[in-house]
Structure 1
Amino acid sequence: MNTGLKITAFAAAVAATFGTAYGVGQGIDPVTAEKKPASEHGGHAGEGGKEEKPGEAAAGGGHAEAVPGGLQISERGYTLALETPRIDADKREELRFTVVRDGTGKDGTGEDGAGKNGRGKNVTAYEKEHGKELHLIVASQDLTTYRHLHPTRAADGTWSTPVELPEAGGYRVFADFKPAGAKEGLTLGADLAVAGTYEPRTLPKPAMRASVDGYEVSLKGELKPGKAADVTLNVEKNGRPVTDLQPYLGSYGHLVALRSGDLAYLHVHPTGSPGDGRTKPGPGVSFAATAPSGGAYRLFLDFKHEGEVRTAAFTVYAGGSHDAGGVETPESGDSGHAH
């Protein structure tokens, strides 16, 4: 076992732990992220793939340029407080967190968010979006490990879910939700350190097809920087089109896109829904998505068939460039889904 790598992983874990504690109440990027121009825009997309206007940053109570989802730990008067900033690799552990309504300023409901003594208080009321009060995404910084989780909320507003992550290193946790009464949903992100022997992995190479559990998923279309573009994913099994996809979270597919480097988050949904009279249950699931900038992205498609949810992953480039800062060809990564 390489001692240097063990020390590096331990140092990364310590840095992430203290970085998370220091960052509460502030908008911060991941430690390894490259700084992006403030003028770049991304956001949270609603039903039909129509993109919502990203919210204003809440830090300091003033107006700020919109930034892609998931890059900030605090936004519009809400903070993601990760109570489990460090776990061990390849071990099933409980991940706990709260969403706190900050003690100063006004939140999306126009109400004062202050708790006792001016401190924030846990959010305990949410509006369901796509069948859930909150969607939790966990992804490694190298985008080779992905988890889509649906945690359980306690009466005091504490969320928890079991998680098992196979590789040591830096991860990003994304909470996608809409507080009750808020004008729109938002996505907050926080750093998670996974301790163990760290082995760097490179971004999977671009490909128009992905295999998962005997299914073949093909990708048609491309992301375009700052512009809506249509992408379609077709599902096959044993060489035959799957025409009986099952509804999952109110649709036939669920797509998450993460930008390589800083893990800017783009959450989109299909251009149709089950029961609308025009959307077929496969083999194709179409989306409208807007990339906040050019560069490499990792797409994760969740789909349900024969009673089980599976995830197909792709690497794509927005803007037609396949260089993306020297990304190398890697081994296939680890994607998963939990209920």
Structure 2
Amino acid sequence: MTPAGHRLLQLCSLTLAAGAVGLLALAARGSSPGPEHATHSGMPAMAGMPGMDHGTTATPGAAPSGGPGTAGMTTDDGLTAERDGYRLDSPAGELPAGRPASYPFTITGPDGRAVTDFAEVQTEKLHFYAIRADLTGYQHLHPTMAADGTWTADPAALDPGDWRLYASFTPNTGPRKGKEFVLGRTLTVPGTAASVPLPAVGGSATVDGCTATVQGELTAGKAGPLTVTFSRDGRPVTDLQPYLDSYAHLSAFHEGDQALAHLHPITPVTGDHGGPALTFYALLGKPGNWRVFLQFRTAGQLHTAEFTLHVG
């Protein structure tokens, strides 16, 4: 599949959100929890996202064809540890609170062996995400892999509570070569967990002096455009820089089950002058609130804007 075609699939994994203020919503397909390692509690699945087609790129200006279930769309949302014979395994069911600690894991294939050959997607062979049950503490990491297929993620210090960890990858060989997966597992961080209420719904967020505003119409079951506009001190931002081969990375987590959607804009990368607007295509999935983390870079600095968006 060509890079352009591969990205088009990713866009379909988007979930559209909008509200009176013009909100965006990312959706994930509901999945029943799959089997997990004995040391972990059951979790729902995330893979490639309810359509997270990590690293794929859609043709600029072109909306994805078809609807839910369209051929080529990714339907994983990180709520299961296993799909199509591929499995995320880890000997770690806990990590200590308040200090950095490594998280080892492997991806096993249908033959039961650790997978060691992964396609590079968005400049990386595996993307790793972490979020606490109250949708705080978001981390997007890029682990290292040993020759035997053991990956090591090094998250920043985690607060006490229940966490979900996700691995997004694409096998480069085997029966599902070229297919995007997002698998997830739960993790406990011992200690007294102070739950943080989900912030109020809103379509605008300011971080490091940059304001990102989301606009779009909520249409259940239909793919549609979502626009994110960037400004600084009331002036358009036109110096967005590529980060992992895209001008932005949007991760959204559904309140309640932590289903994940990960999206990239269809706006092509043309150097260090992206903006002020980026276009996504979203497909509405689950109703309810989503916590959204939008990562973008300017002047060599990575920013993460956070929103709470509602999908009706």
TM-score, normalized by the shorter chain, greater than 0.5 = yes
Distance 1:216 1:163 in 2: 27
Is 1:131 the counterpart of 2:123 in the alignment? yes
Aligned to 1:231: 226
SS in 1 for 2:152: strand
Distance 1:193 1:55, change over 3 A: farther
Aligned to 2:89: 81
Q: Is the 8 A contact 1:80 1:188 kept in 2?
A: yes
Aligned to 1:254: 249
Q: Is the 8 A contact 1:224 1:318 kept in 2?
A: no
- Alpha-carbon shift at residue 77 of structure 1 (Å): 0.9
Q: Is the 8 A contact 1:42 1:291 kept in 2?
A: no
Distance 1:190 1:84 in 2: 10
Among 27, 43, 54, the residue aligned to 1:29: 43
Aligned to 2:145: 153
- Alpha-carbon shift at residue 237 of structure 1 (Å): 2.6
Among 296, 301, 309, the residue aligned to 1:308: 301
SS in 2 for 1:121: coil
- How do 1:182-201 residues align onto structure 2 when only pairs under 5 Å count? 182-201=177-196
- Alpha-carbon shift at residue 149 of structure 1 (Å): 0.5
Distance 1:306 1:317, change over 3 A: same
Distance 2:76 2:86 in 1: 16
Is 1:96 the counterpart of 2:104 in the alignment? yes
Among 120, 125, 132, the residue aligned to 1:140: 132
Q: Is the 8 A contact 1:225 1:293 kept in 2?
A: no
Greater Cα shift, 93-102 or 158-167? 158-167
RMSD: 2.9
Q: Is the 8 A contact 2:50 2:76 kept in 1?
A: yes
Distance 2:133 2:179 in 1: 27
Aligned to 2:269: 274
Distance 1:296 1:224, change over 3 A: farther
Aligned to 1:291: 284
Gaps of 5+ in 2: 1-34
- How do 1:61-72 residues align onto structure 2 when only pairs under 5 Å count? 68-72=76-80
- Alpha-carbon shift at residue 239 of structure 1 (Å): 3.1
Q: Is the 8 A contact 1:89 1:164 kept in 2?
A: no
Q: Greater RCO between the two (CA within 8 Å, min separation 6)?
A: 2
Q: Is the 8 A contact 2:241 2:273 kept in 1?
A: no
SS in 1 for 2:269: coil
- Alpha-carbon shift at residue 68 of structure 1 (Å): 4.2
- How do 1:2-13 residues align onto structure 2 when only pairs under 5 Å count? none
Aligned to 1:205: 200
Give 1 or 2: higher helix fraction: 1
Aligned to 1:47: 57
SS in 1 for 2:246: coil
Q: Is the 8 A contact 1:55 1:76 kept in 2?
A: no
Aligned to 2:9: none
What is the aligned residue count?
A: 263
Q: Is the 8 A contact 2:128 2:153 kept in 1?
A: no
Q: Is the 8 A contact 1:55 1:186 kept in 2?
A: no
- Alpha-carbon shift at residue 23 of structure 1 (Å): 7.8
SS in 2 for 1:96: strand
Aligned to 2:21: none
Q: Is the 8 A contact 1:138 1:147 kept in 2?
A: yes
Distance 2:217 2:311 in 1: 7
Is 1:242 the counterpart of 2:230 in the alignment? no
Q: Is the 8 A contact 2:213 2:229 kept in 1?
A: yes
Q: TM-score, normalised by structure 1?
A: 0.70
Identity %: 35
Distance 1:256 1:296 in 2: 13
One-letter amino acid of the counterpart of residue 51, structure 2? G
Distance 1:283 1:42, change over 3 A: same
One-letter amino acid of the counterpart of residue 248, structure 1? Y
Distance 1:250 1:71, change over 3 A: same
Q: Deviations over 1:44-76 (max 9, x none)?
A: 3332285998799xxxxxxxxx96420110001
Gaps of 5+ in 1: 1-18, 34-40, 57-65, 103-112, 114-119, 320-339
Aligned to 2:258: 263
Q: Is the 8 A contact 1:224 1:294 kept in 2?
A: no
- Alpha-carbon shift at residue 213 of structure 1 (Å): 2.2
Q: Deviations over 1:149-186 (max 9, x none)?
A: 01111111111122124421111111111011314111
Among 295, 302, 318, the residue aligned to 2:311: 318
SS in 2 for 1:86: coil
- How do 1:112-123 residues align onto structure 2 when only pairs under 5 Å count? 113=111, 120-123=112-115
- Alpha-carbon shift at residue 259 of structure 1 (Å): 1.2
